[in-house]
Chain A
């Protein structure tokens, strides 16, 4: 056994089921061989071939049959070709072209682009059209012989098809992991959508999920999870070995539970939100949330000191949102919009969770009121403006920018007394500088600060 293990190790990664303890020996002895990116390439009978994107492109048994898959740029399976070995060569026996709506197949066509089978879909387990990858959403199958209608169990496994007269024309039973235990009916072989509402390929004996193929006899995927350990530490494991309670719409995340859509990676999103917030605080020189809260008081409409500086609030919230959006973008790249909408809710929940410390919940509530502008003295008081002015509403960022620029030419550092004590000729120069700068600022940002200054009695 040792030398054989060494050979398999040299070829890739091997699991020799025959070496398992005695109580597993009732199972068939199967040697599985992995290679390259740890994709299954051989199980002793079938050979599997993957492309550079780790997509299964071909399954074959030497001298018997092979099935080939062609994908589009969105990782969707668009063509399936079937061959048999005849007279010393491969003979193509079937070719299916798929028409998709998002990730879901809605029609099968032949090589001449003639519709062969049309699928009617409704709400899936997510109670949306595609949120659960179409699992449990198949309604009807229409071909040249008419329409038949799908029935599924609570996990979206196709259990039967009925014709227009309510006759059962196909019936399927599976074990918990999707292995077909039996099929009955005249249309049982015609229909390919079976366990988890996914297309089943009879010769290879595998189910085609949008991003991976599942081997129900092995109870695992053929290759590693495209999203890595985000989907769980077992990169080949399916739904956490809990297929009764969980499904996997895309072959990505084995822990997704459509019983609770908000559970989709919410822990991950939550940690992202917290990390983003901490990064934002650190970037703004705060050691933590408490430091931020203590260091950023502001005044409410009644003139009372309250916690939370609007600019920092907005910046922190923006960064948390950026992290959530980054997460969502990642999800967007690998799954369709239905799941992203769920992930978006999870991310929003994550941010809310991150805010539970007190400060961050205030951040969000304050961000809601961020449309409330900050108020600016059109003619700064320290540069001679009247004590009582009609304050000019200005976005906080613009307000800060205005003062930062003005500080360059008329710094606040010397204080108000310095400017008020200047002789008239010097004051005139100050006002001229203020005039020039403010008009230049208006021109840059489309504000009306100069007009507001004139309104307040500015003499230039």
Chain B
């Protein structure tokens, strides 16, 4: 595999500084997790892509993060499915969303613990992907709350996850 390609869990801060946007190859024969850099930004879609960016914590501090599942023109989907991984000291923590099976073990409190901060210092986390992507600002700019204000049922989550149009 070319050095340009990495498994998504091997992406480092340096990789993301060099190329903020990476996309899944979906080459199952090699690796289902392989991503490659998108060399030109801003991009116009983030389907199957993850974005490295700085996010702002509630205490005003910025931390490097890897954000995924952003639908550039669908704020509703983005709100429920956005993933965020935070880098700290060469380690990475991926926070569970409210509908994930390990919300209790890997949720907001676990992230605060990873950052060695109080949860009120971490949440809400603010992100702004507009410098890297063109789309609906309602999807590209937002906050991640410790406790989401509205939640979907499991059935609604599955229904929302299944792509409605693959073309």
Contact = CB atoms under 8 A, between A and B. Distances in A.
A415 B81 contact: no
A407 B68 contact: yes
A450 B108 CA distance: 33
A405 B161 contact: yes
A399 interface: yes
A411 interface: yes
A285 interface: yes
Interface stretch (A46-54, A121-129, A291-299): A291-299
B8 interface: yes
Interface of chain A, main secondary structure? helix
Contacts of B2: 297, 305
Nearest to B21: A285
Interface residues of A, number: 54
Contacts of B157: 408-409
Interface in A371-398: 374-377, 380-382, 391, 396-398
Nearest to A283: B44
Given A285-B41, A403-B48, A413 B94 contact: yes
Interface in A423-441: 426, 429-430, 433, 436-437, 440-441
A401 interface: yes
Interface in B25-43: 25-30, 32-33, 36-41, 43
B136 interface: no
Contacts of A164: none
Contacts of B25: 298, 309
Contacts of A89: none
B101 to A, nearest CB: 4
A397 B162 CA distance: 14
B32 A413 contact: no
Given A287-B39, A413-B85, A440 B8 contact: no
Given A400-B166, A412-B24, A426-B102, A295 B37 contact: yes
Contact of B32 (A398, A412, A437): A412
B69 A414 contact: no
A445 interface: yes
Contacts of B163: 401-402, 404-405, 441, 444
A413 B68 contact: yes
Nearest to B155: A436
A406 B154 CA distance: 14
B132 to A, nearest CB: 10
Interface residues of B, number: 52
B99 A400 contact: no
A380 B158 contact: no
Contacts of B147: none
Contact of A414 (B9, B36, B154, B161): B9
A376 B32 CA distance: 9
Contacts of B161: 405-406, 408-409, 437, 440
A239 B33 CA distance: 60
Contact of A445 (B5, B102, B166): B166
Nearest to A286: B40
Contacts of B69: 407-408, 411
A418 interface: yes
Interface in B111-167: 154, 157-164, 166-167
Given A303-B29, A400-B26, A415-B9, A295 B39 contact: yes
A68 to B, nearest CB: 51
A454 interface: no
Nearest to B102: A426
Nearest to B9: A415
A426 B101 contact: yes
A279 to B, nearest CB: 12
B9 A381 contact: no
Contact of A376 (B4, B28, B36, B47): B28
A417 interface: yes
B57 interface: no
A299 B29 contact: yes
B83 interface: yes
B37 A440 contact: no
A428 B38 CA distance: 35
A192 to B, nearest CB: 53
A5 interface: no
A402 B38 CA distance: 21
Contact of B94 (A406, A409, A414): A414
A430 B101 CA distance: 7
22 contacts: A285-B44, A291-B39, A298-B27, A376-B28, A391-B29, A402-B163, A403-B26, A403-B48, A405-B163, A407-B68, A407-B69, A408-B157, A412-B24, A413-B66, A413-B85, A414-B9, A417-B9, A436-B158, A440-B161, A444-B162, A444-B163, A445-B166
Given A375-B28, A440-B158, 18 more contacts: A286-B40, A287-B40, A295-B38, A297-B5, A377-B28, A399-B28, A401-B166, A408-B157, A408-B160, A412-B24, A412-B32, A414-B85, A416-B7, A416-B9, A422-B102, A437-B162, A440-B161, A444-B164
Interface of B: 1-2, 4-5, 7-10, 21, 24-30, 32-33, 36-41, 43-44, 47-48, 50, 66, 68-69, 77, 81, 83, 85, 94, 99-102, 154, 157-164, 166-167
Cβ-closest 4 pairs across A and B: A415-B9, A401-B166, A429-B101, A408-B161
